[in-house]
């Protein structure tokens, strides 16, 4: 999987080009396009057509319908803020990686029951940041985390230095890419 997962919100389709070209120019070949806007499905489709060499996934997927739409549009990974068994089931059927949001031992155990060993840790800053990840890694040494939410240039390196961190998610990648364009 890609190490950096920009959380992308597309309000209007032309932003797909603006944002994805900026990310690419900054060496980031991934975009998690969120189902927070009406055009999310179309944005994923367009992104997959125009940026076939990028890893395009769907974020903020909170139900089965959105998951089916995202996969039909071409998403190659699915991210949720929490854990949905329905979404996990659809992803499994399509053999697509699913990264559910898990911040408690019970949620991590639910993910493990579903065969998922990489989870989103969201909102990372609110749920204890790196200290919490380290504490959770003691009983769950098989689990990898994607800290997201409140991660920025100021704290990214400490997360990256921890070997249980599979990747970093965040909207700041988009902000930075657009600033450096
Ligand atoms: C998400 O959905 O993953 C978050 O909105 C990203 O959080 P951030 O904006 O603090 O990076």
pLDDT digits (tens, 9 = 90+) for 97-113: 999 999 999 999 999 99
Q: What is the mean pLDDT of the chain?
A: 97
Segment 14-30 mean pLDDT: 97
Q: Give residue-wise pLDDT tens across range 127-140.
A: 999 999 999 999 99
* Ligand 1 atom nearest to CA at 60: 2
Give the global pTM. Answer: 0.96
CA-nearest residue for atom 9, ligand 1, is 171
| Torsion region of 128: left, alpha or beta (phi above 0 gives left; psi -120 to 50 gives alpha) | left
Ligand 1 atom closest to 171 (CA): 11
Q: What angle do CA 36, 11, 21 make, to 5 degrees?
A: 110
120 labelled catalytic: yes
Structure tokens at 55: 């890893």
Task: Please state, in angstroms and as integers, the Cα–Cα distance from residue 119 to each residue in 4, 11, 24, 101, 148, following that order.
Answer: 14, 27, 25, 6, 10
How sure is the predictor about 181, in pLDDT bands with cuts at 50, 70 and 90? confident
Residue 179's pLDDT is 96
**Is 12 an annotated catalytic residue?**
no
* Residue 172: band (very low, low, confident or very high) from pLDDT cuts 50, 70, 90: very high
- For position 168, what pLDDT does the model report? 98
């Amino acid at each position: 999987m890609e190490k950096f997962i920009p959380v992308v919100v597309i309000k209007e389709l032309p932003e797909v080009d603006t944002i994805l070209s900026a990310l690419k120019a900054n060496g980031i070949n991934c975009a998690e396009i969120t189902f927070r806007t009406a055009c999310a499905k179309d944005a994923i489709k367009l992104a997959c057509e125009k940026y076939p060499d990028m890893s395009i996934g769907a974020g903020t997927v909170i139900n089965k319908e959105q998951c089916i739409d995202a996969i039909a549009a071409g998403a190659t990974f699915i991210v949720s803020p929490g854990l949905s068994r329905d979404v996990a089931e659809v992803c499994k059927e399509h053999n697509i990686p699913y990264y559910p949001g898990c911040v408690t031992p019970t949620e991590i155990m639910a993910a493990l029951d579903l065969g998922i060993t990489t989870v989103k840790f969201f909102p990372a800053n609110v749920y204890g940041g790196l200290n919490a990840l380290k504490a959770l890694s003691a009983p769950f040494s098989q689990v990898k985390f994607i800290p997201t939410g409140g991660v920025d240039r100021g704290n990214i390196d400490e997360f990256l230095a921890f070997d249980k961190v599979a990747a970093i998610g965040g909207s700041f990648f988009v902000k930075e890419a657009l600033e450096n364009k």
